[in-house]
């Protein structure tokens, strides 16, 4: 006695894979013996399956394989092997520690630089009157205020606004801008939902001042050493599409402690060669961070602030991240 | 397709303390693991993502996790099942991040799906797999877009079965569902593909019919 066609067709796919019980397979065989339409359907499904199989066999691009091998045998590969017992839950701590290290480095950089801020390339060196330079950019006037406490507040996602350091701003405006500067504000954000938190560094308000007019540029390079890295950004700020003479680029780095994929996004104007060079070097810098530069033991347990203390002890993380921050600004110095 | 890859290349590394002790040896083994499974991982990554750059990142991230996880890999498990689980977990984590990123920063940008989107980095990596021979490029791309139109779970199931040749049991373990669910996903996927690719299917030589 034959089961109805609809009933049979539901199982035809499993049948061609031999995945039916012998009793069910027998039932279907009986049906197919007397039903041409179902036989045709079975054959079509089989050809579909064959078609898919034939479409396979694509090789992974050699460049991908090379990259994976390189990573496997790079500094990461030589790092002490993670304990086999805890391969998974080491990840959150790594990510957390990395994020913390970045805040910490940002704090240190800020402390060592009394008057950082967002230097505007003022074309023709016209000092603007009242409003701080950043005020014309819609998003945040507070972007001018890289007070350490503010960075921490951002880390906690408390957006407490702090008064702009007027003097610092004034001093900066007075200073002629000869060398292009890059300002990278590392701000982290921990993924509270994910079981393996992801640390995100956002570098925004990276300004490439326009080639300075000869008159304005006559001043001095103003020691573009480590001062150039400051922290004027805010989480979630909108893109500052270049004001006259400068461009803003937003780059978002995703470090998940384990794999360090750098995803860079530009916001604002069209991509240019400069941006590409910048992003490439950023990627390189992140990938070169030694795996064990991350203080696993400094993982945040209850609050990030308490872990900052633990993190201070990890000189390696500190050094590696400092190097990263320094490296980030290299392309800007090369910028004409 | 399953045969031959299973465990063979992994055994030198898995759980062996001596291998871990020797850094150089470790590197060699890691490279061998990457080589052995690159095509498989690539195949899954491509089917889980929408553009090449995304696929490449997933591929790299997955291999980092695979290599890190090797010491904990039990040899009695199916390598492909295990790898597949890692890639899927990695993908899940990435999606979580991406969705938040899009929500926060890309509200004003064009909707995803537009051709040629993505950061536009490293164009050299675009256009994958020089070794495609058996089938015409056009047919291949038809098949890929038909696959892309399937729901994620159906696409993955049918790719693992028909393209990668995994068994229902392996797929069930890899995707964390019952064998019955795998059966029905594959069934629905094949039915949809059979309709969408009707001309190709009908043109295929009917060697299978008895």
- Show contacts of A218-225: CB within 8 Å, 24+ apart: A218/A176, A218/A178, A219/A175, A219/A176, A219/A177, A219/A178, A220/A176, A220/A178, A221/A178, A221/A179, A222/A175, A222/A176, A222/A177, A222/A178, A222/A179, A224/A179, A224/A181, A224/A333
Residue B148 touches chain A, beta carbons under 8 Å: no
Whether the pLDDT of residue A117 is over 70: the answer is: no
DSSP track, A24-69: HHHHHHHHHHH-HHHHHHHHHHHHHHHHHHHH--PPPPHHHHHHHH
Whether the pLDDT of residue B115 is over 90: the answer is: no
Whether the pLDDT of residue A224 is over 50: the answer is: no
Look at B180 and A70; give whichever has higher pLDDT: B180
Pair of tokens at residue A61 = 């691009």
Distance in angstroms (rounded) separating the CA atoms of residues A321 and A12: 58
CB contact under 8 A, B193 and A193: no
The answer to whether A95 and B162 are in contact (CB under 8 A) is no
CB contact under 8 A, A60 and B194: no
- Give the relative orientation of helices B52-69 and B23-48 as an angle to the nearest 10 degrees: 140
Confirm whether pTM is higher than 0.80.
no
Pair of tokens at residue A93 = 């701590």
3-state secondary structure of A249: strand
Distance in angstroms (rounded) separating the CA atoms of residues A110 and A69: 38
pLDDT by residue (tens digit) across A23-61?
A: 999 999 999 999 999 999 999 999 999 899 888 878 888
Distance in angstroms (rounded) separating the CA atoms of residues A253 and B48: 22
Q: Which of A290, A319, A282, A298 is nearest to A96 (CA)?
A: A298
Distance in angstroms (rounded) separating the CA atoms of residues A261 and A275: 18
The answer to whether B195 and A46 are in contact (CB under 8 A) is no
For residues B154-159, average pLDDT? 94
- Give the relative orientation of helices A36-55 and A5-16 as an angle to the nearest 10 degrees: 30
Whether the pLDDT of residue A17 is over 80: the answer is: yes
Q: pLDDT band at A95, cuts 50/70/90?
A: low
pLDDT at position A99: 59
- Beta-bridge mates of residue A190: A199
Residue B117 touches chain A, beta carbons under 8 Å: no
Place of tokens 């069934």: B187
pLDDT at position A13: 92
CB contact under 8 A, A261 and B96: no
What does the DSSP 8-state code read for residue A179? S
Residue in B with minimal Cα distance to A74 = B27
Distance in angstroms (rounded) separating the CA atoms of residues A177 and B124: 37
**Cβ-based contacts of B186 with chain A (< 8 Å):** 13-14, 17
pLDDT at position B67: 86
Distance in angstroms (rounded) separating the CA atoms of residues B43 and B161: 12
Residue B37 touches chain A, beta carbons under 8 Å: no
Q: List all residues of chain B from 78 to 97 with a beta carbon under 8 Å from chain A.
A: 90, 93, 96-97
Place of tokens 């039903």: A35
pLDDT at position B193: 95
Q: Quickly count: other Cβ atoms within 10 Å of residue A284's Cβ.
A: 12
HEC string of A311-335 equals HHCCHHHHHHHHHHHHHHCHHHHHC
**Cβ-based contacts of A198 with chain B (< 8 Å):** 93, 96-97
CB contact under 8 A, B42 and A64: yes
Residue in A with minimal Cα distance to B186 = A13
Pair of tokens at residue A20 = 């039916």
CB contact under 8 A, B191 and A19: no
The answer to whether A294 and A97 are in contact (CB under 8 A) is yes
- Beta-bridge mates of residue A257: none
Closest CA–CA distance from residue A256 to any residue of chain B (Å): 9
Q: Which residues of A322-335 are buried (b: 16+ CB within 10 A; e: fewer)?
A: bebbeebbbbbeeb
CB contact under 8 A, B204 and A50: yes
Q: What is the dihedral of CA A186, B101, A197, A320, to 10 degrees?
A: -30
- Beta-bridge mates of residue A254: A200
pLDDT at position A53: 87
pLDDT by residue (tens digit) across A160-204?
A: 333 333 333 333 333 333 333 333 333 333 333 333 333 434 444
Q: pLDDT band at B188, cuts 50/70/90?
A: very high
Q: Which of A36, A195, A259, A296 to mutate to test the interface with B (most CBs of B within 10 A)?
A: A259
Whether the pLDDT of residue B110 is over 90: the answer is: no
CB contact under 8 A, A198 and B97: yes
Whether the pLDDT of residue B86 is over 70: the answer is: yes
> Phi, psi at residue A208, to the nearest 5°?
-110, 95
Look at B72 and A317; give whichever has higher pLDDT: B72
Distance in angstroms (rounded) separating the CA atoms of residues B91 and B13: 25
HEC string of B82-145 equals HHHHHHHHHHHHHHHHHHHHHHHHCCCCCCCCCCCCCCCCCHHHCCCCCCCCCCCHHHHHHHHH
Size of interface A-B (CB pairs under 8 A): 209
Residue in B with minimal Cα distance to A196 = B93
Residue in A with minimal Cα distance to B57 = A261
Name the region of B100 (left: φ>0; alpha: ψ -120 to 50; beta: rest). Answer: alpha
Residue B195 touches chain A, beta carbons under 8 Å: no
- Please report which helix (H) or strand (E) contains residue A254, including its range: strand A246-255
Tell me the ipTM for this assembly: 0.72
pLDDT at position A4: 82
Q: Which of A224, A221, A126 is nearest to A182 (CA)?
A: A224
pLDDT by residue (tens digit) across A244-289?
A: 333 444 444 444 444 344 444 444 444 455 555 555 555 555 555 5
CB contact under 8 A, B30 and A267: no
Q: pLDDT band at A100, cuts 50/70/90?
A: low
Question: What length is written for chain A?
Answer: 336
């Amino acid at each position: 006695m034959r089961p109805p066609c609809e009933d049979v067709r539901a199982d035809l796919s499993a049948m061609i894979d031999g995945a039916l019980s012998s009793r069910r397979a027998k039932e279907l065989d009986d049906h197919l013996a007397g039903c041409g339409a179902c036989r045709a359907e079975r054959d079509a499904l089989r050809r579909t399956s064959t078609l898919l199989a034939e479409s396979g066999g694509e090789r992974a691009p050699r460049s991908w394989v090379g990259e994976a091998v390189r990573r496997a045998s790079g500094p990461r590969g030589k790092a002490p092997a993670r304990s086999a017992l805890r391969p998974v839950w080491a990840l959150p701590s790594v990510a957390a520690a990395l994020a913390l290290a970045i805040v910490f480095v940002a704090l240190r950089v800020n402390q060592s630089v009394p008057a950082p801020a967002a230097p505007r390339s003022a074309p023709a060196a016209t000092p603007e009157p009242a409003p701080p330079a950043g005020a014309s950019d819609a998003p945040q006037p507070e972007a001018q205020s890289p007070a350490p406490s503010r960075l921490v507040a951002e880390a906690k996602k408390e957006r407490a606004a702090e008064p702009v350091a007027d003097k610092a701003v004034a001093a900066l405006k007075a200073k002629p801008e000869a060398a292009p500067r890059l300002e990278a504000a590392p701000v982290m954000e921990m993924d509270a939902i994910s079981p393996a938190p992801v640390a995100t560094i956002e570098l925004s308000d990276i300004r490439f001042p326009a080639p300075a007019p000869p008159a304005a540029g006559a001043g001095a390079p103003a020691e573009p050493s480590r001062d150039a890295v400051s922290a004027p950004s805010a989480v979630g700020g909108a893109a500052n599409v270049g004001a006259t003479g400068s461009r803003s680029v937003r780059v978002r780095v995703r470090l998940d402690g384990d794999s360090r994929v750098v995803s860079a996004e530009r916001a604002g104007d069209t991509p240019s060669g400069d941006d590409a060079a910048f992003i490439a070097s950023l990627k390189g810098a992140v990938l070169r961070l030694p795996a064990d530069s991350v203080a696993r033991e400094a993982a945040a347990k209850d609050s990030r602030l308490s872990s900052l203390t633990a993190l201070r002890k990890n000189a390696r993380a500190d050094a590696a991240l400092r190097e990263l921050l320094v490296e980030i600004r290299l392309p800007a110095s090369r910028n004409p | 397709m399953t045969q031959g890859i299973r465990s063979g290349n992994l055994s030198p590394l898995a759980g062996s303390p001596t291998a871990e002790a020797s850094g150089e040896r470790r590197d060699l083994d890691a490279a061998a693991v990457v080589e052995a499974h690159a095509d498989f991982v690539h195949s899954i990554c491509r089917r889980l993502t929408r553009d090449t750059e995304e696929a490449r990142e997933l591929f790299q991230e997955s291999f980092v996790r695979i290599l890190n996880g090797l010491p904990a890999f039990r040899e009695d498990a199916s390598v492909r099942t295990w790898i597949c689980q890692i890639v899927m977990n990695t993908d899940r984590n990435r999606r979580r991040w991406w969705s938040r990123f899009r929500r926060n920063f890309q509200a004003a940008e064009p909707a995803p799906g537009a051709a040629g989107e993505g950061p536009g980095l490293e164009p050299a990596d675009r256009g994958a797999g020089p070794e495609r021979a058996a089938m015409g490029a056009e047919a291949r791309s038809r098949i890929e877009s038909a696959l892309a139109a399937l729901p994620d779970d159906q696409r993955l199931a049918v790719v693992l079965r028909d393209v990668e040749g995994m068994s229902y049991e392996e797929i069930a373990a890899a995707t964390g569902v019952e064998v019955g669910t795998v059966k029905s996903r594959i069934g629905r996927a094949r039915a949809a593909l059979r309709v969408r690719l009707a001309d190709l299917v009908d043109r295929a030589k009917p060697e299978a019919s008895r």
